[in-house]
Amino acid sequence: MSAAMSADARRALRLLTGGAVGGVALAVASVVVCGLVGGAGVIASACVAAGVVLVVFALGQAVQVAVANLSAVTVMLTSLLSYVVRIGGFGLFLVVVGTGAYSWVPLKWVVVVAAVSTAMGWIAAEIWTYSRMRIPVFDTSEPHQRD
């Protein structure tokens, strides 16, 4: 990022950071809980599941940071496309693991618990971060971009 980051890019980066903190916090908690309930053998599965979620969510939010300065229509289209790709990839991951394609996953519930709790942690932290942001609605000092 350049030194002269726009307000929109700063807000998107703040959401990325906030979401990542919440996602990592619940990822760690879910790995610990899965390890306590399922033993040491399930920790790797929980780590992979949580890691996949963190990467998918981070990539999606990084796209938002990258396009924050473009027109509103471009940002919306990019957001929607990014969302479809991320959710589709996440769903595909859960389906592949759920069908037994990976025999190294000792318990399928570990993947679901770790993946879903990590996703919920990211989303909850992002909502919390957004609710505390001050986004000007009118009388801003920054020029507005027109489509």
Each residue of 29-88: pLDDT tens digit?
999 998 888 777 788 888 988 998 899 889 888 998 999 888 889 988 998 898 888 888
Is the model's pLDDT at 8 over the cut of 70? yes
- 1 pLDDT above the threshold of 50: no
pLDDT score of 30: 92
Torsion over CA of 67, 72, 77 and 82, rounded to 10 degrees? 40
Q: Which residues contact 72 (CB under 8 A, 6 or more apart)?
A: 145, 147
Chain segment 98-144, per-residue pLDDT in tens: 666 556 555 567 777 888 899 999 999 999 998 888 776 665 566 65
pLDDT of residue 25: 96
Task: Let me know: does 49 contact 28? Beta carbons within 8 Å.
Answer: no
Q: What is the pLDDT of residue 145?
A: 58
Alpha helices in the chain (DSSP H): 7-38, 43-67, 72-98, 108-131
HSE of 7, CA atoms in CB hemisphere, 13 A: 11
Count other C-beta atoms under 10 Å from residue 110's C-beta. 27
Output the pLDDT for position 24. Answer: 96
The end-to-end CA distance of the chain, in Å, is 24
The answer, yes or no, to whether residue 94 has pLDDT greater than 80, is no
User: Whole-prediction pTM value?
Assistant: 0.76
